[in-house]
A = this chain, B = another copy of it.
Amino acid sequence: MGRGRLKMELIANERARKTTFQKRRKGMMKKAYEFSILCDLDVCMIIYGPKQTDRPPELHTWPENRDEVDRIINKYKASTMRKPAKKTFDLSDLLRDRKTKVHVDIYRARKEMYEAKYPTWDERIESFSENQLGALLNALDTKLESGKRTLLNKRKQSAECHQHQIHCMEKQHQTK
Contact = CB atoms under 8 A, between A and B. Distances in A.
A17 B46 contact: no
B131 A150 contact: no
A75 B124 CA distance: 18
A160 to B, nearest CB: 16
Question: How many chain copies does the complex carry?
Answer: 2
A147 B135 contact: no
Contacts of A77: 73, 90-91
B38 A10 contact: yes
Contacts of A39: 10-11, 17, 20-21, 24, 49-50
Interface residues on A, range: 35 or more
A46 B48 contact: no
Contacts of A118: none
A151 B82 contact: yes
Given A139-B122, A142-B56, A144-B109, A11 B38 contact: yes
Given A43-B45, A87-B152, 17 more contacts: A8-B38, A11-B38, A21-B39, A24-B38, A40-B51, A41-B48, A45-B45, A59-B83, A89-B148, A91-B125, A91-B137, A94-B148, A108-B147, A112-B146, A133-B143, A133-B144, A136-B140
